[in-house]
A and B are shown apart, each in its own frame.
Chain A
Amino acid sequence: MWFALKIVIYLLAAGGILAWCAASWRKSRRTVEKYLRSLPASEVQELADRAGNTYEQDAFLSRKFGRVCTSAVFYPDHPDGIPSCFHRLNEALDEPVPRDVISHICTVYRAMENDTLVAYTLSVRFQGGDTVLVVSVRARRESLSGTYLLDPGSGELSADDWVRNPVVAFSGPDPDLIARIRS
């Protein structure tokens, strides 16, 4: 009898934990969906093609939004530095971007292949109004020590300590917001 009761208690506890996990996951997804809108694949491709050139990326987004877009770009020294870029963003915003959203972007960045791009439209509030930002995270290869050797034949750089680090760009049509993020 006592054994059967224990089984039931364990089952109830496991069920409760599962239910809590599912609810948290749904809540997290709702939060992410509320703040992030996936860009259409064609637009992500357009951005990826321009990912190495902020000006071209800004020009593309300016056409998309019909207003001049500028961007604040960060080069963290490690993938773990992505949240610190959002910290800079949050300091400028009326309401901070939820941790779930930042965590989601970090997870997608870690999972992505080389030379691809994470890009979303982010709905935010700034100085009492709603505005949008396109957040993009791409990877760049760099030497950990900043020490490169030029191959005179190929013109390529080599290094003993390549690492893959992110480049985070916040681009949008509100110049005041971009200036605040940069400052």
Chain B
Amino acid sequence: MSQDFVTDFPGVRSDWNGYARYDFKLDGVDCILVKPNVAEAPGRPWYHRARFFGAFPFADLALLERGWSVTHTDVTELYGSPEAVRRLNRFYDFMISRGYHRGAVIAGYSRGGLITYNWAAEYPEKVACLYLDNAVCDFKSWPGGMGKVRRYEEEWKRCMKAYGFADEQEALAYGGNPLDHLDVIAKARIPVLHVTAMKDTVVTAEENGEIAVKRLKELGGIVEVIRKPAADHHPHCLENPQPIVDFVERYWNRRGS
């Protein structure tokens, strides 16, 4: 395992919802580690918010209360591209080098679904379980706008740039979206929880989460889904995050400490 990190950990300490938050850089990339106030849960589990740290943090706070650490590394504007995967993997190695649990629990909200699934497909042996929330599972749906919703022009340009696509045809032919490698997730028996807003007008359920759930079931994967029948893209998560906490705590240690 590479441990030649260039890091200023623990960086700057501040308060986050009553917990100690450390902002630091790892090879120049912004990272966050929030520590629990209570004793760390045995095995030192951690819950990684792939994108939008701090937004709808119901599950994050519930897990902190139970002795988990909550983390984040910046993958802004990378849309799950290989560079995003590299950054998250670097962060994983860092966490392991600090003695945290080997099974990563990754939460992907919205476009965070891209990096969550893509990293898990690249490194399935490092994953404990995944929680996806109104998650983008195919950039052709969002921001590409190839389905029911409009194209998000600026985001689509940034997405194409992040992947280094020369033109749109190359983007459309790309076979590395989350929906393209669900077989890896299913084969590795990675438990997946989708929380899906069924009236999502941005990241539509039928082009993203619902396809993922259906395919994972067909492939024999471990998948659960909580459908919010009348909900739009926001709010994410569940106000009472107990079902999410139950799912995560059920599976986080499936590979042992």
Measuring CB to CB, which residues of chain A are less than 8 angstroms from any residue of chain B?
52-55, 58, 70, 73, 75, 140, 143, 146-150, 152, 155, 157, 179, 182-183
Q: Which residues of B contact A146 (CB under 8 A)?
A: 222-225
A179 and B238: CB pair below 8 A? no
Measuring CB to CB, which residues of chain B are less than 8 angstroms from any residue of chain A?
41-42, 66-67, 222-231, 238-240, 243, 246, 249-250, 253, 256-257
Q: Which residues of A contact B226 (CB under 8 A)?
A: 148-150, 157
| Complex partner residue of B42 from A55, A140, A157, CB under 8 angstroms | A55
Interchain residue pairs with CB less than 8 A apart (24): A52-B246, A53-B66, A54-B249, A55-B41, A55-B42, A55-B66, A75-B250, A140-B246, A146-B222, A146-B224, A147-B224, A148-B225, A149-B226, A149-B229, A150-B227, A150-B229, A150-B231, A152-B229, A152-B230, A155-B239, A157-B226, A179-B256, A179-B257, A182-B253
Q: In angstroms, how far is the closest chain A Cβ from the Cβ of B190? A: 14
A140, A146, A147: which has the most chain B beta carbons within 10 Å?
A146
The 5 closest A-B pairs by CB, nearest first: A146-B224, A182-B256, A148-B226, A150-B228, A183-B256
Report the Cα distance A149→B225, complex, angstroms. Answer: 8
Q: In angstroms, how far is the closest chain B Cβ from the Cβ of A169? A: 12
B231 and A152: CB pair below 8 A? yes
Interface of A is mostly: mixed
Q: Which residues of B contact A147 (CB under 8 A)?
A: 224-225, 227
Report the Cα distance A152→B225, complex, angstroms. Answer: 16
Report the Cα distance A149→B231, complex, angstroms. Answer: 11
B257 and A182: CB pair below 8 A? yes
B66 and A150: CB pair below 8 A? no
B226, B227, B229: which has the most chain A beta carbons within 10 Å?
B226
Report the Cα distance A150→B67, complex, angstroms. Answer: 27
Report the Cα distance A147→B246, complex, angstroms. Answer: 15
B256 and A55: CB pair below 8 A? no
B42 and A70: CB pair below 8 A? yes
Q: In angstroms, how far is the closest chain B Cβ from the Cβ of A152? A: 6
Report the Cα distance A70→B44, complex, angstroms. Answer: 13
